[in-house]
Amino acid sequence: MDDDDFLLLNPGPVPVRESVLDAMAEPMVSHRSAAFESIYERAQAGVEYVFEQSTPTEQATGDGTALLLNGTATMGMEATVANLVGSEDHVVALVNGKFGRRFARIAERHTDNVTRVEVPWGESIPLSAVDDAVRPDTRLVTMVHNETSTGLQNPAWGVGRLVADHDAYFAVDGVTSVGGDVFCIDDWHVDVAITDAQKALETPPGISAVYVTSEVQNAFDGASAPFYEDLDWHLRKAESHQTPFTSAVPLFRGMAEAVEAIEREGMPARIDRHHRQARAFRAGFAALGLDRFPEASDHTVLSNTVTAIELPEPIRGDPAAFFAAVEERNVSISGGQGHLSGDIFRVSNMGSLADEQVLRGVRVVGEALDAVGVDTDPAAGVAAARELTETS
C-alpha cells in the first residue's frame, strides 16, 4: 500500500484546488441575485482570458464572448450544432477517436447531410482528405483538437485554413487543450470553441463553456435549437451576467476561483509547464519499456495534456490486476475507451500537478507492472522523467 495522499491522474475530472472547494462551500445565494451576477462576471472574464490568451502571438482580438453552460461539454457541442445547422445543411465531421465520433453523432441527429472524414482511432487525419470533403455548400466543420481517447493533438490550424477558404463555420472541441496548451482562436479561424470545467480549468464537473466569435453569433438560430440550448438566449442573459435557467451556483463559484488562479499563473507559463510534464511522462514510460499508443504523423502531434500508452503484451486484453495494483497505491489512472479497453492506459497532466506528482505516477505504474509480473525498472522510469522535469 502507498501511504501518500490519493492522486488523481485520470484525464478528467482532475484534482481541484482547496480554494475552489472552499468557494463552493460558501452559503447559497439566488441565481438571480446581484451576488450571483458578480460570480458569473468573474467566471466569464477568467474563461475569456484563457480562451483569448492561449495563443503565442499578439494577434488575439478578443472579438467574442464566452458563455457558461449548465451542462458538460457535450451540451456545448450539441448547442453549437443545433444553433448553426438546419436539416438540409452539409456538415463535415473529423473522426479519429471517441470524441470526434461524438461530434459526428450529434451532427447526424440534426441533419442527414454529414460527411465523416474518418480514420482508425489513434491515427492522423490527412488534411488532403479534409480538403476533399469540404464543399462550397458546407455549413459547418467539426473537429476535436486534443483527442482525449487516444492522446493525439489534431492540426486545428490546418483544418481552420481549409474551412476559411470554403467560407464555412469551424467548431472545435478544445476540452483537453484549452487551459493547458496553445489554442489560437483567431489564427486557426475558429468560430466556436468548446471546453469543459473538469479538465484543464480545474473545476469539478457539471458546467462548461463555449467561446463564440462575434461573426458566428449572427448565424445562430436559437429558435431551431433545443429550448435549453438556445445560444441567442444565453447571449442575451450573459449581458446581465446570468444564464437563462437556474445556475449551478456552487460550480460557478468554483469556476470563478479556478480561472482567476489560472490568470495569476499566466497562460504562457501554464502552457510551458504542461508541455514539460507531458514530455516527462513520455520519457518515464519509455524508460519502463512501454510503447506509446498513438501514431503521430503528417501534421498531427502527441498531446501535451493526455498521455496514452500501450499495455505490455503479458497483460493486454486483461489488465484488471494491473489497474488494481495502481489503485492499491492510491493512484487513479484510466484505461482505454471503446474498443481500446484492455489495450492502453491513459494519464493526465492537466491542471496544476507538481512535478513530484508526475514522477509518482511513473513510479506507481512501474511498481504495478512489476507486481503483476511485467519485467520493468521503476527507478529507471523515475530517473528519465526527472531529467525532463529538471532540464526542460
Query: What is the structure's pLDDT at 392?
Result: 56
Produce one character per residue of 176-214: b if its CB has 16 or more CB atoms within 10 Å, e if not: bbbbbbbbbbbbbbbbbbbbbbbbbbbbbebbbbbbbbe
Residue 153 lies in a domain: yes
What is the spatial distance between Cα 173 and Cα 99, in angstroms, rounded to a whole number? 8
Clarify whether residues 276 and 238 are in a common domain: no
Where a domain ends, among 248, 265, 282? 265
State residue 1's pLDDT score: 44
- Same domain for 366 and 291: yes
Give domain status of residue 276, yes or no: yes
What whole-number distance in Å separates Cα of residue 41 and Cα of residue 189? 26
Can you give the pLDDT at residue 390?
80
Are both 292 and 371 inside the same structural domain? yes
Name the burial class of residue 2, with classes exposed (0-12), middle (13-18) and buried (19+) by CB atoms within 10 angstroms of its CB. middle
Helix 320-328 and helix 355-371: axis angle, to 10°? Answer: 130
Longest dimension (CA), the chain: 60
Tell me, yes or no, whether 72 and 216 share the same domain. Answer: yes
Give the strand pairing for 169-173 and 138-144: parallel
The Cα 113–Cα 70 span in angstroms is 29
Contacting residues for 15 by C-beta, under 8 A, at least 6 apart: 7, 8, 202, 351, 352, 353
Report if residue 122 sits inside a domain.
yes
For residue 259, give the C-alpha cell.
480561472
CATH assignment at residue 373: 3.90.1150.10
Task: Count CA within 13 A, CB hemisphere, residue 213.
Answer: 19
Q: What is the distance between the alpha carbons of residues 265 and 152, in angstroms, rounded to a whole number?
A: 26
Report how far residue 309's alpha carbon sits from residue 343's, in angstroms, rounded to the nearest whole number.
9
Q: Of the residues 214, 230, 265, which one is the last residue of a structural domain?
A: 265
> Interhelix angle for 378-391 vs 267-287, to 10°?
150
Identify the CATH number of the domain in which residue 41 sits: 3.40.640.10
Q: Where are the beta strands (DSSP E) in 72-131?
A: 90-95, 114-118
Place of cell 436559437: 222
* Domain match, 36 and 145 both: yes
User: Is there a single domain that holds both residue 138 and residue 250?
Assistant: yes
What is the three-class DSSP state of 233? helix
Residues 33-62 as b/e (b if ≥16 CB within 10 A, e otherwise) read: eeebeebbebbbebbbbbbbbbbeeeebee
Is the domain of 271 the same as that of 258? Answer: no
Grid coordinates representing 137? 455548400
Q: Which residues pair with 347 in a beta bridge?
A: 307
In a domain, 349, yes or no: yes
Beta strand 334-335 with 331-332: parallel, antiparallel or unpaired?
unpaired
Whether residue 91 lies inside any domain: the answer is yes
State whether residue 38 is helix, strand or coil. helix
Same domain, 130 and 231: yes
Could you give the C-alpha distances from 108 to 89, 105, 174, in angstroms and in order? 11, 5, 21
**What average pLDDT values come out for the chain (392 residues) when binned by 10 residues?**
81 97 98 97 98 79 90 98 97 98 98 97 95 97 98 97 96 98 96 98 98 96 96 97 97 98 97 97 98 87 97 96 98 97 97 97 98 97 94 60
Listed residue (35, 77, 307, 296) closest to 180, CA to CA? 307
Domain count of the fold of the chain: 2
pLDDT given for residue 295 in this prediction: 77
Q: How far are the Cα atoms of 215, 301, 305, 332 from residue 130, in angstroms, in the given order?
A: 23, 17, 25, 37
d(CA 72, CA 249): 15
- Residue 208 and residue 243 in contact, taking contact as beta carbons nearer than 8 Å: no
Final residue of a structural domain among 265, 281, 311: 265
Q: Are residues 221 and 261 in the same domain?
A: yes
C-alpha span between 280 and 381 (Å, rounded): 10
Position 119 in a domain: yes
Looking at the structure, do residues 193 and 281 belong to the same domain, yes or no? no
Q: Is 121 exposed, middle or buried (0-12, 13-18, 19+ CB in 10 A)?
A: buried
User: Is 39 contained in some domain?
Assistant: yes
Q: Same structural domain for residues 235 and 324? A: no
**Which residue range forms the structural domain that includes residue 178?**
19-265
Q: Tell me if 1 is assigned to some domain.
A: no
Do residue 195 and residue 217 come from a single domain? yes
Is the preceding omega at residue 136 within 30 degrees of 0, hence cis? Answer: no
Quote the pLDDT of residue 296.
83
